């Protein structure tokens, strides 16, 4: 028996996604999948020769998600995290906050560069690429917490064919470089 699809907010265009025996609904979620960010970090790591700095930079700001999961009581509930990540964009409105901002990128990058310049430059580049990729998905506040400027319309939707093509293209780049 397939599990019921969680409720969604009105006005969103969603599509069903089967995941094993579970059925989820993929709404116009405005986030990029984890593997896409990992592949981007791997490309930067391969080009620069420092996978640690590149992967750290490409994944660091997603700590926002863990903070949100903790605050909303699902951090240690893998099924709840999976369900949340395969459905609506951000049910609590707090997953892309301070670390997903230009100010945080600048401050954190400068701090990391002050500790180790080479590591910091690679970390900063990977962090910036993550922010750019997230901006492509829309619903992004680059100057959080100032929400007057927002990138609203997604160019690449979450779990879409475009994201799949982007992921395959990034993987091809990684293999070629």
The SS3 of residue 41 is: helix
Answer yes or no: are the C-beta atoms of 30 and 158 closer than 8 Å.
Answer: yes
Q: Is 105 exposed, middle or buried (0-12, 13-18, 19+ CB in 10 A)?
A: buried
The one-digit pLDDT tens for each residue of the chain (177 residues) are 444 444 444 444 444 545 444 444 444 444 567 788 899 999 999 999 999 999 999 988 888 878 778 888 888 888 887 777 766 456 666 666 678 888 889 999 999 999 999 999 999 999 999 888 888 876 666 666 666 766 666 677 766 788 888 888 999 999 998
Q: Which residues contact 22 (CB under 8 A, 6 or more apart)?
A: 2, 3, 83
Q: How many residues does the chain have?
A: 177
**What one-character-per-residue DSSP string does 71-138 give?**
HTT-TT-HHHHHHHHTSSS-TTS-SSSGGGSHHHHHHHHHHHHHH-HHHHHHHHHHHHHHHHHHHTTS
Look at the alpha carbons of 66, 71, 73, 76 in this order and tell me if their dihedral is positive or negative: positive
Q: Can you tell me the distance from the alpha carbon of 165 to that of 156, in angstroms, rounded to the nearest whole number?
A: 10
């Amino acid at each position: 028996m397939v599990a019921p699809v969680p409720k969604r907010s009105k006005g969103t265009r969603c599509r069903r996604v089967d995941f094993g025996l579970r059925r989820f609904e993929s709404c116009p979620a405005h986030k990029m999948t984890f593997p896409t960010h990992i592949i981007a970090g791997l490309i930067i790591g391969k080009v620069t020769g420092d996978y640690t700095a590149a992967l750290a930079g490409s994944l660091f700001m997603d700590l926002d998600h863990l903070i949100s999961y903790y605050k909303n009581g699902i951090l240690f509930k893998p099924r709840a995290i999976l369900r949340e990540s395969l459905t609506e964009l951000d049910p609590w409105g707090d997953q892309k906050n301070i670390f997903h901002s230009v100010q945080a990128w600048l401050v954190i990058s400068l701090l990391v560069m002050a500790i180790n310049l080479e590591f910091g430059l690679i970390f900063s580049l990977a962090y910036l690429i993550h922010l750019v990729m997230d901006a492509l998905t829309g619903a992004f506040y680059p100057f959080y917490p100032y929400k007057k400027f927002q990138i609203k319309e997604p160019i690449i939707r979450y779990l879409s064919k475009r994201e799949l093509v982007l992921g395959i293209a990034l993987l091809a780049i990684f293999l070629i470089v």
